[in-house]
Amino acid sequence: MRFPQHRRITSRRDFGRVRRQGHSYRGHFLLLGVLEDSSVPDLKIGFITTRRLGNAVTRNRIRRRLRGIFQRLGDDLKNGHYLVVIPRGAAARASSEALEKEWKWLIHRSGLYKKEQEQ
């Protein structure tokens, strides 16, 4: 299944806004940038995979894993935010389960779960 266009961050300007104005949460495998923006009706996400991670096959594998995690767990997140996910060097050697566990931990730290809002 293709990742929907309305859920993607596509402009360089939006990536830069998340970096300058947002908050960062660092884990062992991932760096998560979060920016709240009430003008966005949905949650938008962007992935930055640099050559430092490895060759194109490795970078694409990491992006596929992260998109899959987001598609499985993205409905549990609050709308009106931009998310930028930057995998770190250790992510290339990490299992999908380890990436998913860290994703949940970073989202919990950032306070983006809908369940936390309702309590």
Domain boundaries of the chain, sorted by first residue = 5-110
| Inter-residue contact 25 to 109 (CB < 8 Å) | yes
Pick the CATH number of 5-110 from 3.30.230.10, 3.40.718.10, 3.40.50.970, 1.20.1300.10: 3.30.230.10
Residue 10 burial by Cβ neighbours in a 10 Å radius (0-12, 13-18, 19+): exposed
Write down the pLDDT at residue 119: 43
Write down the pLDDT at residue 117: 47
What pTM did the predictor assign?
0.88
One-letter amino acid at 38 equals S
**pLDDT tens by residue, 61-119:** 999 999 999 988 888 888 899 999 999 999 999 999 999 999 999 999 999 988 654 44
